[in-house]
A and B are shown apart, each in its own frame.
Chain A
Amino acid sequence: MTAPTVAPAAGWAPELRQAGEARFAEVGFPTTRHEEWRFTPVQRIAQGTFAEPVAAAADPAALAPYLFGQGSWPQVVFVNGRYDAARSSLAGLPAGVTVSSLQDAWLAGTDVVRAQLGRHATPAETPFTALNAARLHDGAFVHVPAGVALPQPVHLVYVTTAEAAGAQVMPRTLVVVGREGRAALVESYVSLAPGATYFVNPVTEVVTAEGCWVEHVRLQRESEAAYHVGFTSVDQARDSHYRSFTLAVGGAIARHDLVVRLQGTNTETLMYGLYLARGEQLVDNHTTIHHQQPACRSWEVYKGVLDGRSRGVFNGKIYVTPEAQKTDAKQTNRALLLSPDAKVDTKPQLEIFADDVKCTHGATVGYLDNVTRFYLQSRGIPAALATRMLTYAFCAEVVEEIAIEPVRAEVDRLVRERIGGLGA
């Protein structure tokens, strides 16, 4: 891991950088001896030498397919870690709403940024949040003030181009939604260089106030030779609603941690996830939900489809503190193996210290059911098509949960494409 070769802009979050630098110097990269990284070896990242990314422009035609055909959505685009003003468009935002480069907002002295950045996904969370802080590039800042509802989703686009090959990118996102605010966010990680090897290490902080409603879609579509280690922290205040959908299809090693802290009563949290792995890909999802206030509800469904010699990892933690009575938490994790050489390690982890709660979890890993496939065959559908239809159906159950229709349609298309073609 090389040190930064380009000096950061003067005054760009120096304390956070220093804290990240110090923390990473202390802990270094994890190994499989660390419980949280037991099934996810990261030597290839640790031993790699990743340069600072080269500035590049994203070809608009190449980028267009990743924008859901929604030219009117406000969007901020970062290419190889740098803000691309030409590709970003911020028209039509309601008064008081900010969508901008995080670095610009910090350097402009924006109070919300200075108060919140790095306070939720701290460098202490994981070695990779420390590294992100230490090598902070840029990223998106979204601020929705109290009482404001965004009329359209905001798209945060993190692009890597061929120029990023061999480089490391450290995107950073901060989303702050004020009391009774409403926002839909789409966070995309896309590669315009399909075979490139590079390292993306994003950290996202979502901070909600009372009564917020936040819809958050995270699409990870990196090169299949890339390393993507991401961390998302969500703080929910009382009476807030947060709904997440994460998709992971890229990365040779792809890891995402989603940590939700319920800091007020009567919240609702929905977490849906889908990953599709093939070849030698390793896709790891770690989710943690801290039920630490009474009467909060959480509902989680993660699904994975694994082909080839791919590996899946799922770890779902639900912590319920003694004061979090009347918690209602449900977690489901299902993996579908399409190949005898694919493998999944799954670990639900419930730690419950309150007595009046409803917490359930279920994990299944398996192949397609022969009887179901036979049923389709008996209706004239050939075995190979039956397999694709059933794989699609397995995914569709979570894809249907994407509430932003153009995004749902695009993920649906992507799933069909990945499972090898399926008529409309």
Chain B
Amino acid sequence: MSENVPDDLQYTRSHEWVRNLANGQVEIGITDHAQQALGDLVFVEVPEVGRELKAGEACAVVESVKAASDVYSPVSGRVAERNSTLSEQPELLNSDPYGAGWLIRVTRSATPTEGPFLKAAEYAQFVKEAG
């Protein structure tokens, strides 16, 4: 199975990705590896806009036919936007995990406490070693 790990994103060991947006917010989702491991996604629960997240906190749930998984927020901050399309089309996490399948956009807190994240090559290596 070939897995896509875009170079312009940062990653966590718990298989989330982080994208820095032009407006200063960060966009968060789950990786291609994660969606392939889960299989067909059928339910996604994302946090309310305005919720304060701490890095490492369980902030979303993604459920496939066979498994339920927590998604951990890679950053601390406030939820600015959530992808409400996913409640109708959870399969977007399978078909476009780095694009239309994004989960939330977060305004980071003033003093970041998280990281460091993995670079694409490091994450690809991590997935390979974890088998």
A binds B: no
